[in-house]
């Protein structure tokens, strides 16, 4: 089921990030310790009373220029209004109601979104008396909180979760490949959708998706059924919102969660920017099959080495996704477009690949024989056996004498050997180490 979205809004220094961390339990959207993985604390997931949701912490939004403080607060509010199902409006009991609070309150009123008013820094009973002036903001009863002490978080979540909409996924058969197109604005996602469908516009069996404004478009090609999950063309015009564009990736994140294969669309004319890594990193973290699609390739001046140079640039910027193939095409001229779906089919197949346990153990035994694990304080890692426990993505469980002896470099060596034998092209490969017990 697609998760609804809660956004935390408020002026600086009211404790938004502290409350955000309390809600998500300090989990980060991207936590993998590999080179090239961009960490982003603006997004996370939480659960309360059995209801899962995504959380946006708008505290990281900063805008330069005149009156930057007030513009930043407005930008946060606008981002939250656009992205969220429920908004937590945070204020500070110590500071009282400020002009910035009143400005944001007016914007939130006009949004017609459910608003929960949380008053932070209510750290003692005396401070409780300070919350009554916040009734003047017009959002009903203020909820007293202490981010530092962790009090009031339950009441805040009770109020927020009670107003979340119920979102249900559309269920497709297992033989349907769900493909999400992600990428920053102006990389040509909509044009690519239209080129794939052979239509002037996306109106083929449109189905309202579970994420706001997303479109699911089922189609069939050469006997294979697909669903395109398109998040393109959903950006609100306006100076403030364009400034916050790089933070507005929640729809892409939710489309990724529903997909089997993620097409990371890159503008061949402009090259790669940091936001591309943010979005692609989320696909990797969610264990999705992925293909880099370099669009607008027709507009790039090139020689016989241009494509290889661009591929090298992708590999340098996305070290954590070295498994993902790269397809060059032009949605406008449809040049090389015929190469895309065969690659999608291939990586979807690799994503669902299951290796027999005996074959897997033969590969691992050969790898250990060629390069035994190093010793650590006189102790050596011993691998008892390996088994595949899941697909989408392929997930392997390695039983050993002591998991602490599995160094990340040796784990990477084993992954490389497995990929050399079975490819797993286009899909992450997850390896988990567990101590062998008598029951095992």
Q: Which residues line the annotated binding site for GTP?
A: 10-17, 57-61, 120-123, 183-190, 230-234, 295-298
- Nearest CA to 259 out of 235, 233, 280 is that of 280
- Nearest CA to 24 out of 49, 57, 61, 59 is that of 57
> To 10 degrees, the CA torsion angle through 186, 187, 189, 195?
110
What is the token pair recorded at 252?
């892409």
- Strands of the 207-208 sheet, one edge to the other: 207-208, 215-221, 224-230, 176-182, 261-267, 289-295, 326-328
Binding site membership: which residues? 10-17, 57-61, 120-123, 183-190, 230-234, 295-298
What is the token pair recorded at 431?
């390896």
What is the token pair recorded at 94?
């110590």
From CA 424, how far away is CA 352, in angstroms rounded? Answer: 9
How far is residue 101 CA from its own chain's centroid? 30
Burial of 238 (0-12, 13-18, 19+ CB in 10 A): exposed
């Amino acid at each position: 089921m697609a998760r609804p979205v809660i956004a935390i809004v408020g002026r600086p220094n009211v404790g938004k990030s502290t409350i955000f961390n309390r809600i998500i339990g300090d989990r980060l959207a991207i936590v993998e310790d590999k080179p090239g993985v961009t960490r982003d604390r603006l997004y996370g997931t939480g659960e309360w009373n059995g209801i899962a949701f995504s959380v946006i912490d708008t505290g990281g939004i900063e805008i330069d220029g005149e009156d930057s403080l007030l513009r930043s607060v407005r930008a946060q509010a606008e981002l939250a209004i656009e992205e969220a199902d429920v908004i937590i409006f945070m204020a500070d009991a110590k500071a009282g109601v400020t002009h910035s609070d009143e400005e944001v309150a007016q914007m939130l009123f006009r949004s017609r979104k459910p608003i929960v008013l949380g008053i932070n820094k209510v750290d003692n009973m005396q401070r409780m008396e300070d919350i009554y002036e916040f009734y003047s903001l017009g959002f009903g009863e203020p909820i007293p909180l202490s981010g530092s002490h962790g009090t009031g978080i339950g009441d805040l979540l009770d109020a927020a979760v009670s107003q979340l909409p119920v979102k249900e996924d559309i269920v497709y058969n297992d033989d349907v490949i769900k493909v999400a197109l992600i990428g920053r604005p102006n990389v040509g996602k909509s044009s690519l959708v239209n080129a794939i469908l052979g239509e002037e516009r996306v109106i083929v069996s449109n189905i309202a998706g579970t994420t706001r404004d997303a479109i699911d478009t089922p189609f069939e090609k050469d006997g294979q059924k697909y669903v395109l999950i398109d998040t393109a063309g959903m950006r609100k015009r306006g100076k403030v919102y364009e400034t916050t564009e790089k933070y507005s990736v929640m729809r892409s994140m939710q489309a990724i969660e529903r997909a089997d294969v993620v097409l990371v669309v890159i503008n061949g004319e402009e090259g790669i920017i940091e936001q591309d890594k943010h979005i692609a990193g989320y696909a990797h973290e969610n264990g999705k099959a992925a293909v880099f699609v370099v669009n607008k390739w027709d507009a790039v001046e090139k020689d016989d080495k241009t494509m290889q140079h661009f591929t090298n640039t992708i590999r340098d910027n996305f070290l954590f996704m070295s498994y993902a193939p790269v397809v060059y095409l032009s949605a406008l001229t449809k040049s090389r477009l015929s190469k895309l779906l065969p690659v999608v089919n291939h990586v979807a197949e690799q994503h669902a690949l299951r290796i027999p346990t005996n074959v897997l153990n033969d590969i691992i035994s050969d790898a250990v024989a060629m390069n035994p694990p190093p010793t650590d304080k006189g102790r050596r890692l011993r691998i008892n056996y390996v088994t595949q426990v899941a697909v989408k993505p392929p997930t392997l469980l390695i039983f050993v004498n002591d998991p602490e002896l599995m160094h990340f470099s040796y784990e990477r060596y084993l992954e490389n050997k497995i990929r050399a034998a079975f490819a797993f092209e286009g899909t992450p490969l997850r390896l988990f180490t567990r101590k062998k017990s008598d029951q095992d």
